[in-house]
Structure 1
């Protein structure tokens, strides 16, 4: 038997440990800073989430369009709760966790990422429904689909906070209800977990950005980008609605 020389990786391990400690410290420090400036931020920035409400509604309309009549009726009764959850998801800097790069499986440095937070909201929604608190359940489902919708935007995937993100958001905010092609007509996208909706949209967002990045006109580039992103957001939202009911049926919390 030959001699096996074990490489001493203690320095590497120590470096990794130090790196994780720094990331954790950085994340905590940054969140403390956000808590301090949050009251000031509220004076200047309104998080009314009109685009998310638009996507929630048209995701719901897709259920009706594709003959999910009972499912449509149920979610329609709770649309206000879903919208409240979608608005809440962006308040108090919760959006700092609305980032996820599927290639490196990370979000913003020092913070949780979309995959983990979306699963947390979804699991809370399931638990609350089983406990009989349906309005609060739909509130958390609204928070869940908010993040699923966010991940159709490349800046949430490439994790570039200042890469003209606000400029594009403003374009969508002011045009989302003016272009009929921004409303999805294709069927809901069916996947088997909220995490897979995050992964799916994140990968699609990267492809969409590659398709439109060479269009020289900013307005035309944003227009073409939104032709992909808004219908995708609505179709995956509709799919998540149906997945939620499917998972409730599995545990006997709702009857077929």
Structure 2
């Protein structure tokens, strides 16, 4: 309801309102934050006078419409440093999304700038999530671990946290830990240092994923037989389930 109300106010604003670039910038941030593209269509339609930041509005509209080539042409090389912080954050997130496939290193640098410039906001949270998964696909594993722990501690009650934990657990099951023990240790470290409820849920999802996919530390990807979590004997002599420990898959340990 609130987003619809804001959109209505923007669409009903008098034409002179848009001669103030701050209002155009606010419309761009609104649209890139999920508010819908209607106001940008109006501001950039043919016959409309050129307004401050028109190219930014056109680039944002192209991105929302899925026209990545046009969005990249208009936005990828924009210097966000002179822009107001909120607008710079929205444009930076968009630039990272447009860059991540061909240049993940630059995408990570852009996400660093965004999250550090807007601490405690949804923009920071979004940048942090995206950066974690980009790093997890082959970046700096130490930084991955630090940022994952940061997210799990600071944003564990976010409405997006459940989705993050599902993706985090799924990514664990997709990695060939048997060939990269360093990466396995980094992921396990992030999980082990997370708050207890997060750790328990993530471990459970990972165990389910490994049983289905047959990928685990020391496992054989070509033989995805049944997997089970290994057990270890504690000081009391009772057998207990290890947390973040080893797995047995297809007869391999």
Instruction: Report 1 or 2 for greater relative contact order, CA contacts < 8 Å, sequence distance ≥ 6.
Output: 1
Q: Which has the larger strand fraction? A: 2
TM-score range, shorter chain: under 0.3
Choose 1 or 2 for highest CA Rg.
Answer: 2
TM-score between both structures, scaled by the size of structure 2:
0.21
Q: Which has the larger helix fraction? A: 1
